[in-house]
Amino acid sequence: MKNAMPFSGKLMTSGMGILPHKALDEAMDLAMSLDIPFWPQLPKINYYEDMYVQATEKFPGIIVEPEAGKIHFNTEKFYLELENVLNNFENEAFFRITPQYSATYHHFLSLDLTSYKAIRGQLEGPVSVGLAILDENKTPIIYNDEVRSLLFDFMARKANCQLHELKKKNPNAFLFIDEPGLQYIFSAMSGYSNEHAREDMSGFFAQIEHPRGIHLCGNPDWDFLLNLDIDILSFNAYNLGEIFVKYRPSIKRFLASGKMLGWGIVPANQEEFAIETQEALFLRIEKLWGELEKAEFDREQIFSQSILMPATCSLINPDGSKTVEKTYSSLKKISALLREKYFGE
């Protein structure tokens, strides 16, 4: 069987895209301390580092108010700027994240990243962007058919541009599309159906080069995600693992096709982290894998196609970045203990 990812997971570590740090160097040191480093998003340094702002750089109609910490959409501005965007659709450089929108991204690209097994980037997904950004009538832009159609195509090009730049630094680079909004589309309140989402997301990923995946911390329809054409799925195993492992037929198909899972096992929320121990988290992840083994999953396959991550990002801890630093330290220790137990490393 050929793996969908260009490397074996073997319980290596990676992190969340967003970090609460107010100093770039400290955030980069943390991101680079993992087996699979990433460039962090640091919205507490600059509003342009916000994931929604970064994702919509140069999208027509977008208005960013950094002093107020607001981003919104204007329909008239959309049509005024549309022609310029369409004229640049085949110009990959147009879709690059500029230094104004991420100092960390450009710092990351300046480093020698060849010694790492893999590196990772991220981009906020079109469903989440479309639901979160409102027009002048306070309506999510995902409900505007013309805007939504362009949004998916536009962001696929942004994803490809980033992936190409990362692959120049490390051939095993991959990209997460962060899609917290996917947990809401199955609600009767959404107004944007899962049928629409399936069609739109299928077309979106068809435009993006491999390897690519989805990350989210919420509780969506797991069958929906596990049957999308993605190479890796990152999820909150700490809070939702017991639900996730019940989707055994879809997980089995997912792994059988060589795809990878990112198990978010260490909480980054201060209250949750404070009540956990390293030993308890070690046993928690083993219990989840044990549930799959009862259903005749192969343990070696699970390990080969799994990486370990924090359960969530966290920008609201009262202790700033301290808990997140502890989360990453615990993550690395748990990974080392598991690898020692199962691989003798």
* CB-facing half-sphere around the CA of 254: CA atoms within 13 A: 27
Residue 187 pLDDT: 59
Task: For residue 121, give both structure tokens.
Answer: 């980037």
pLDDT tens-digit series, residues 76-126: 999 999 999 999 999 999 999 999 999 999 999 999 999 999 999 999 999
- Whether 3 is in a domain gets the answer no
Task: For residue 96, give both structure tokens.
Answer: 């690059």
- Whether 1 is in a domain gets the answer no
pLDDT tens-digit series, residues 257-278: 999 999 999 999 999 999 999 9
Residue 191 pLDDT: 66
Residue 197 pLDDT: 82
Give phi and psi for 22, each to the nearest 5: -110, 5
| Model pTM score | 0.95
Q: Is the pLDDT of residue 2 over 70?
A: no
Type of residue numbered 165: E
- Whether 251 is in a domain gets the answer yes
- Whether 2 is in a domain gets the answer no
Q: How far is CA 105 from CA 23, 24, 237, 259, in A?
A: 14, 11, 27, 26
Q: What percent of the chain has pLDDT over 90?
A: 89
Residue 4 pLDDT: 85
Using pLDDT thresholds of 50, 70 and 90, give the confidence band for residue 184.
confident
Please state which of the ranges 73-77, 102-106, 219-223 shows the lowest mean pLDDT: 219-223
Residue 190 pLDDT: 55
DSSP bridge pairs for 263:
235, 308
Task: For residue 299, give both structure tokens.
Answer: 């343990």
Q: Using an 8 Å Cβ cutoff, are 317 and 269 in contact?
A: yes
- Whether 7 is in a domain gets the answer no
Considering only CA atoms, which of 235, 210, 238 is closest in space to residue 222? Answer: 235
Range of the domain at 276: 12-343
Say whether 244 sits in a helix, a strand or coil: helix
Residue 61 pLDDT: 98
Which runs of consecutive H residues, i.e. helices, occur in 23-88?
Answer: 24-32, 51-55, 75-87
Residue 198 pLDDT: 84
Using pLDDT thresholds of 50, 70 and 90, give the confidence band for residue 326.
very high
Using pLDDT thresholds of 50, 70 and 90, give the confidence band for residue 186.
low
Type of residue numbered 215: H
| H or E segment and range at residue 71 | strand 70-73
pLDDT tens-digit series, residues 328-341: 999 999 999 999 99
Span 298-322, average pLDDT: 94
- Whether 5 is in a domain gets the answer no
Query: How far, in Å, CA of 249 to CA of 203, rounded?
Result: 24
DSSP state, residue 49: G
Q: Using an 8 Å Cβ cutoff, are 53 and 71 in contact?
A: yes
Q: Using an 8 Å Cβ cutoff, are 133 and 140 in contact?
A: yes
User: Position of tokens 């988290």?
Assistant: 281
Span 155-184, average pLDDT: 95
Span 174-201, average pLDDT: 80
**How many other CB atoms sit within 10 Å of the CB of residue 337?**
14
Query: How far, in Å, CA of 141 to CA of 192, rounded?
Result: 11
Span 136-148, average pLDDT: 95
Using pLDDT thresholds of 50, 70 and 90, give the confidence band for residue 3.
confident
Domain count across the chain: 1
- Whether 28 is in a domain gets the answer yes
Span 201-230, average pLDDT: 94
CATH number at residue 288: 3.20.20.210
DSSP bridge pairs for 93:
none
- Whether 275 is in a domain gets the answer yes
Q: Order across the sheet with 260-266: list the strands.
A: 12-13, 306-310, 260-266, 232-235, 212-215, 174-178, 120-124
**How many other CB atoms sit within 10 Å of the CB of residue 233?**
22
pLDDT tens-digit series, residues 4-45: 899 999 999 999 999 999 999 999 999 999 999 999 999 999
Using pLDDT thresholds of 50, 70 and 90, give the confidence band for residue 206.
very high
